[in-house]
Amino acid sequence: MSKTISHDDDTLATLAEAPTSRRAFLRSASLTAVGGALVACGTGSEKNAATTQKAAIPAATPTAATTVAQTGGTMGAHDTAKSASAAVSAAETMDAMHEKGIKAFPAKTAHYGNQPLEPKLVNGVKVFELTATEMKWETAPGQMVSAMAYNGQVPGPQIRVREGDRVRVVLKNQLTQSTAIHFHGLELPVAMDGVPFITQPPVKPGESYTYEFTVPNAGSHMYHSHHNAAVQVGLGLLGAFIVEPKNKSKEPKVDQDVVFILNDGAHGYTFNGKSFPATQPIVAKLGQKIRIRYMNEGMMIHPMHLHGMHQTVIAKDGWDQPAPWKCDTLNIAPGERWDVIVNCNNPGTWAFHCHILPHAESDHGMFGMVTALVVQK
Amino acid sequence: MSKTISHDDDTLATLAEAPTSRRAFLRSASLTAVGGALVACGTGSEKNAATTQKAAIPAATPTAATTVAQTGGTMGAHDTAKSASAAVSAAETMDAMHEKGIKAFPAKTAHYGNQPLEPKLVNGVKVFELTATEMKWETAPGQMVSAMAYNGQVPGPQIRVREGDRVRVVLKNQLTQSTAIHFHGLELPVAMDGVPFITQPPVKPGESYTYEFTVPNAGSHMYHSHHNAAVQVGLGLLGAFIVEPKNKSKEPKVDQDVVFILNDGAHGYTFNGKSFPATQPIVAKLGQKIRIRYMNEGMMIHPMHLHGMHQTVIAKDGWDQPAPWKCDTLNIAPGERWDVIVNCNNPGTWAFHCHILPHAESDHGMFGMVTALVVQK
Amino acid sequence: MSKTISHDDDTLATLAEAPTSRRAFLRSASLTAVGGALVACGTGSEKNAATTQKAAIPAATPTAATTVAQTGGTMGAHDTAKSASAAVSAAETMDAMHEKGIKAFPAKTAHYGNQPLEPKLVNGVKVFELTATEMKWETAPGQMVSAMAYNGQVPGPQIRVREGDRVRVVLKNQLTQSTAIHFHGLELPVAMDGVPFITQPPVKPGESYTYEFTVPNAGSHMYHSHHNAAVQVGLGLLGAFIVEPKNKSKEPKVDQDVVFILNDGAHGYTFNGKSFPATQPIVAKLGQKIRIRYMNEGMMIHPMHLHGMHQTVIAKDGWDQPAPWKCDTLNIAPGERWDVIVNCNNPGTWAFHCHILPHAESDHGMFGMVTALVVQK
């Protein structure tokens, strides 16, 4: 999630079908692996492979029978077969929609959010510029939504600093509304808290505003609008503010550090600003350890379920838990951040989704809050 | 919840009224106890019994007075009395509906889900057969809903195995849609993960599909459809998959092990596929220790509140918590499992319900997510 | 929250504008401080003060440009400027609504709930009288809602007793409906559990009913109706029942003990029965330690986010957590109670709100579940 996988016109499905093309060959191993995983579908990678047996279609499932009966027709064996075959045909249509979505994953869309933002160093101060604008955002192929964005990104650029750093954030408001930035989770002096009419005046359209502070506490934090926020945060004025601790000796050693921002407002159900199949997979090598920093910027809970491996919860809102604990489904409430470690010890392409199922799947297939963790052998 | 209490035509209320009938006499002690508890209503089982005093009806509650005033009538003392007496009559009507529901508990309905499924042993492999069909399901007396069921049960049959067991699950699809089974919480090889188009092809109507694996991790897990799942799980394609640990020395010793599956889809608010008053009580002897395995297969949180005794939380998603902790209201999110211990040290019939009150009660009385823990002296 | 701040006609805004009036001078320091914090807006209380730069309005934000283009007009520099200036004017209007709400805080309303209720001592028994009536309740200035209240308060009066106390609660029902009281969290004998038709008859309009028991377990508990409860609790029949432990040596020593009851029914989103700007701030001195007892009597989760300082979670439902843990956003589910400690070590006026943003802010400004923690230097 922290890195954007570059891709041209091909989807993973295309890659899987033409693995020897030069373009595919030059592609990163991670993508090939995802393609490989898809190719593996149904071939059985375990010793005791799954087996599918084509059986006769059910002679008369209650539903099919009822349907025929209700249409008033005389129901003979032939009619039943026709009815059952209609059911299979409906099933095929549904399956085709599901397959199409998964084959499109990870689908290419214009622009990616949550990209690392390098500060300018000015007299020892790390200076970040955030320009808020209104724009169109593509959450899934062809799905254009109205957005408010920092630096043209939804979520806004990822800020990473160190405990004790001196930081300046220059907000330029090019919106048609006033705005302000609240640094959610940072224990700042009150003048830097970003709440219009309580700690500062609103930053009006065309104005800029400068926040400056010494970073007080480590952990997974966020920045977002605190003015007309139900609207502005829903439209994209939000981002990750990660603070690395001064003393890194107690930090878990990980191979990847992934920011995973959940939202559910006007843009639909999104991970880092994208909906399935445009969400980005996390790609890891077998044996790697990854840290995931969940952040909920939405209005609903999202219990995040990872298939195949458990999650070890280490921190809440940037504060270590008294002892790590394990789960496979972690409930993330609005405003919360949870840090987890995943030991990538189970190879394959693993579904990774919100377990409120209507946030992840309809009869037209998967959508919204679905991605994958790909563990490559 | 793990066992179905058999009953014929009688409800508990009937039992309570005719405790000496032969039928009632042969009935299990637990039912008698429930009936007994109901009979005890208002008789005061504590030393300092509650006392009710009939007082004059309120001369003119603001609402009653306002109502009369608003109808434009001249309001004298007589009118007020009439109005208040109308209020009492409305109250009596409401109370009668509440009483009727509670007297009907536990109401008899056709078929019960979550019944233990005995495996066939084939060359050391525990073989479970699950046949998915479409059918009608009775959630409460006379409340028939369209369902999808494994082996005619909602929830599907309860599977219990041991860590390290070799297990085969044969899925027969007699639905009009494709399907697949995901073993939620089990850390299986990816080919057994049950996600169509990612780890296997969909199992089409009329087909069967075989999953086979060595059970990798202990705990309270689930199996359910992972295809068109928002619909199929909502309609009943779900069940408990309990894995007992190889090393049982660390397991809490309990007198009962109860599976408690929550759902809130097309079937309404249900515990193990039934709505109050058709939910099944948990019946324990004073001093017994019970383990409850909550599993949320719905789309909403359900904070489960037990009256009279606290719950000690020991595991989340099949993994021990670092230390047990106590509560009386445990919030269960979709996809989560929580294991708790209840020491049944407080005799009586205790309400046990979701504390989102509109999931449990309306002005017509209790419904949906309500049951009782009966602790017998 | 546990104490009501008295105020006459003035709002904090007025106070801030006329700090030398005799009335203001006599007012409590806490209010002056709140006013002071508001006055400080935009003046920059940190060494490196925030700076606002008036810049030219954006030449053409995408939205503004698009709007003009879509109206079909020929877009010159002048048109753009007009459009942008219209945007600024709309922004000013929105900001004025936001400012008005904040300046009104804490707004005066009729009656406050959650007031300490002193028991009568009768032969060593602490006797509390609760009279349930129907009335109008003011949640915010001019916002009158239909309510059911104990002793004319929403929430009902705060009951505080000690573990082992003998307590009598006399309920007088002056409603037009039957009712009953459940002591949520207390492990009472079943006859005192307050569930009509299971543990007692309903208490009909005009009747009274007496509960009496020895207080069994310490902690932050609640009392509320358990009859037609989705309606009656939503309308206000609820209150805090705090039990201090016999052995106080393990209790954290705090300077304030604040009860914070959340509700979200027919009265809208409320803290202790009031909606912003009529919610009451918590006012503390720098260096003080406060204990907050959250209680959710609503139907939805509310993740409570405090700005500027973290919350240390010590207890759940009246039971100590195995170890304290820290957060800034604590998710409170219906029926749950959570106790936290806040070390007031960061001076200023801090927003304190539910982080489901539509529970706290609209484009008309803050409302509902918003208050402030004021830390005075």
Map residue A127 onto helix, strand or coil.
strand
| Dihedral sign computed on CA atoms, order A100, A104, A107, A108 | negative
pLDDT of residue C82: 58
Contact C358 A230 (CB under 8 A): yes
Burial A252-276 (b: 16+ CB within 10 A, else e): eeeebbbbbbbbbbebbbbbbbbbb
Q: Is the pLDDT of residue B21 over 90?
A: no
Contacts of C42 in chain A (CB under 8 A): 200-201
Please, which residues bridge with residue A162 across strands? A244
Contact B357 C230 (CB under 8 A): yes
Q: What is the distance in angstroms between the Cα of C15 and the nearest Cα belonging to chain A?
A: 15
Residues C145 and C274: their CA atoms lie apart, in Å, by 11
Contact predicate A328/A311, CB 8 Å: yes
- Select from C61, C103, C363 the Cβ nearest to the Cβ of A175: C61
Contact C184 B50 (CB under 8 A): no
Between the alpha carbon of residue A199 and those of residues A226, A231, C28, C69, the distances in Å are 11, 20, 22, 38
Strand B289-296 relative to strand B256-263, pairing: parallel
Mean pLDDT is lowest, of A14-23, A166-175, C322-331, for: A14-23
> Across residues A367-372, what is the average pLDDT?
98
Contact B206 A58 (CB under 8 A): yes
Residue B58 main-chain phi, psi, to 5 deg = -60, 130
Map residue A26 onto helix, strand or coil.
helix
Between the alpha carbon of residue C117 and those of residues C153, C164, C292, the distances in Å are 11, 19, 19
What string of DSSP letters covers C91-152? HHHHHHHHHHHHHTPSPP-S--S--B-PPEEETTEEEEEEEEEEEEEEEETTEEEEEEEETT
Contact B195 A307 (CB under 8 A): yes
Contacts of C62 in chain A (CB under 8 A): 133-136
pLDDT of residue A285: 98
pLDDT of residue C152: 98
Residues C194 and A338: their CA atoms lie apart, in Å, by 39
Query: What percentage of chain A exceeds 90 in pLDDT?
Result: 76
Contacts of B92 in chain C (CB under 8 A): 204
> Across residues A320-348, what is the average pLDDT?
98
What amino acid is encoded at B94 in this protein? M
- The alpha carbon of residue A254 and the mean position of all alpha carbons in its chain are separated, in whole angstroms, by 20
Which is nearest to C191 in space by CA: C165, C217, C209, C172? C209
What amino acid is encoded at C255 in this protein? D
ipTM for this prediction: 0.84
Give the confidence band of B343 by pLDDT, cuts at 50, 70, 90.
very high
Strand B329-332 relative to strand B370-376, pairing: unpaired
- Select from B135, B177, B335 the Cβ nearest to the Cβ of A91: B177
Contacts of A195 in chain C (CB under 8 A): 307, 351
Contact A198 C41 (CB under 8 A): yes
> Across residues A325-345, what is the average pLDDT?
98
Give the H or E element holding residue B103: helix B77-103
Q: What is the distance in angstroms between the Cα of B241 and the nearest Cα belonging to chain A?
A: 15
Map residue C31 onto helix, strand or coil.
helix
Strand order in the sheet with A329-332: A282-285, A370-376, A348-354, A302-306, A329-332
- Select from A61, A325, A360 the Cβ nearest to the Cβ of B134: A61
Query: What percentage of chain B exceeds 90 in pLDDT?
Result: 76
Give the H or E element holding residue C17: helix C12-17
Contact C230 B346 (CB under 8 A): no
Q: Give the chain C residue whose CA is nearest to the CA of B40.
A: C199
Contacts of B87 in chain C (CB under 8 A): 176-177, 205
Half-sphere exposure of C63 toward its Cβ, with a 13 Å CA cutoff?
Answer: 20
Q: At what angle do helices C77-103 and C62-70 cross, to 10 degrees?
A: 120
pLDDT of residue C57: 37
Radius of gyration over alpha carbons of chain C, in Å? 24
Residues B38 and B34: their CA atoms lie apart, in Å, by 6
In a mutational test of the B interface, the residue from C126, C136, C187, C197 whose CB has the highest number of chain B CBs within 10 Å is C197
pLDDT of residue C131: 98
Give the Cα-Cα-Cα angle B134, B139, B141 (nearest 5 degrees). Answer: 125
Residues C359 and C305: their CA atoms lie apart, in Å, by 12
- Select from A95, A305, A323 the Cβ nearest to the Cβ of B322: A323
Q: Is the pLDDT of residue B251 over 50?
A: yes
pLDDT of residue A51: 52
> Phi/psi class of residue B228: alpha, beta or left (left: φ > 0; alpha: ψ in -120 to 50)?
left
Tokens of C262: 């959340």
State the CB neighbour count (10 A cutoff) for residue A366: 28
Q: Is the pLDDT of residue A68 over 50?
A: no
Burial B226-265 (b: 16+ CB within 10 A, else e): bbbbbbbbbbbbbbbbbbbbeeeeeeeeeebbbbbbbbbb
Half-sphere exposure of C208 toward its Cβ, with a 13 Å CA cutoff?
Answer: 14
Q: What is the mean pLDDT of each run of 10 residues along chain C (377 residues)?
A: 40 33 31 35 39 43 32 40 72 96 97 98 98 98 98 98 98 98 98 98 98 98 98 98 95 97 97 98 98 98 98 98 98 98 98 98 96 97
Tokens of A220: 């997974």
Tokens of A9: 């016109």
Residues A207 and B48: their CA atoms lie apart, in Å, by 71
Residues 6+ apart with CB under 8 A from A179: A132, A171, A173, A202, A203, A225, A227, A228, A232, A237
pLDDT of residue C51: 52
Q: Is the pLDDT of residue B65 over 60?
A: no
Q: Please, which chains are in contact with C (at least 3 CB pairs closer than 8 A)? A: A, B
Give the H or E element holding residue B52: strand B51-53
In a mutational test of the A interface, the residue from B122, B133, B174, B220 whose CB has the highest number of chain A CBs within 10 Å is B174
Half-sphere exposure of C41 toward its Cβ, with a 13 Å CA cutoff?
Answer: 18
Comparison of pLDDT for B67 and A337, the residue scoring more: A337
Contact C193 B46 (CB under 8 A): no
Contact C372 A198 (CB under 8 A): yes
Give the confidence band of A28 by pLDDT, cuts at 50, 70, 90.
very low
The count of CB pairs under 8 A between chains B and C is 195
Tokens of A234: 């829903």
- Select from A99, A305, A349 the Cβ nearest to the Cβ of B190: A349
Please, which residues bridge with residue A134 across strands? A148
pLDDT, averaged across chain B: 84
Q: Please, which chains are in contact with A (at least 3 CB pairs closer than 8 A)? A: B, C
Contact predicate C280/C272, CB 8 Å: yes
Decide: residue B25, CB within 10 A, 0-12 exposed, 13-18 middle, 19+ buried.
exposed
Contact B46 C192 (CB under 8 A): yes
State the CB neighbour count (10 A cutoff) for residue C48: 17
Task: Say which DSSP state C257 is in.
Answer: E
Contact predicate A218/A320, CB 8 Å: no
pLDDT digits 0-9 by tens, B79-138: 455 566 777 789 999 999 999 999 999 999 999 999 999 999 999 999 999 999 999 999
What amino acid is encoded at B77 in this protein? A
Q: Please, which chains are in contact with B (at least 3 CB pairs closer than 8 A)? A: A, C
Contact predicate C257/C316, CB 8 Å: no
What amino acid is encoded at A259 in this protein? V
Half-sphere exposure of B289 toward its Cβ, with a 13 Å CA cutoff?
Answer: 8
pLDDT of residue B304: 98
Q: How many residues are present in chain C? A: 377
Give the confidence band of A16 by pLDDT, cuts at 50, 70, 90.
very low
> Tokens 């309905």 map to which residue?
B109
Q: Give the chain A residue whose CA is nearest to the CA of B234.
A: A357
Contact C38 A178 (CB under 8 A): no
Q: What is the distance in angstroms between the Cα of A93 and the nearest Cα belonging to chain C?
A: 38
Mean pLDDT is lowest, of A215-229, A291-305, C10-24, C115-129, for: C10-24
pLDDT of residue A2: 41
Contact B57 C135 (CB under 8 A): no
> Tokens 């709440």 map to which residue?
A195
Q: What is the distance in angstroms between the Cα of B19 and the nearest Cα belonging to chain A?
A: 42
Give the confidence band of B168 by pLDDT, cuts at 50, 70, 90.
very high
Contacts of B192 in chain A (CB under 8 A): 46, 50
Q: Give the chain B residue whose CA is nearest to the CA of A321.
A: B322
Mean pLDDT is lowest, of A97-101, B14-18, C54-58, C186-190, for: B14-18
In a mutational test of the C interface, the residue from A136, A172, A204, A331 whose CB has the highest number of chain C CBs within 10 Å is A204
Tokens of B208: 């069967």
Which is nearest to C156 in space by CA: C239, C262, C261? C239
Give the confidence band of A86 by pLDDT, cuts at 50, 70, 90.
confident
Q: What is the distance in angstroms between the Cα of B31 and the nearest Cα belonging to chain C?
A: 15
Contacts of B40 in chain C (CB under 8 A): 191
Tokens of C83: 């459009």
Contact predicate B376/B284, CB 8 Å: yes
Tokens of A159: 């800020």
In a mutational test of the C interface, the residue from A195, A224, A233, A295 whose CB has the highest number of chain C CBs within 10 Å is A195
Half-sphere exposure of B257 toward its Cβ, with a 13 Å CA cutoff?
Answer: 13
The count of CB pairs under 8 A between chains A and C is 195
Contact B176 A64 (CB under 8 A): yes
- The alpha carbon of residue B228 and the mean position of all alpha carbons in its chain are separated, in whole angstroms, by 24
Contacts of A185 in chain C (CB under 8 A): 328
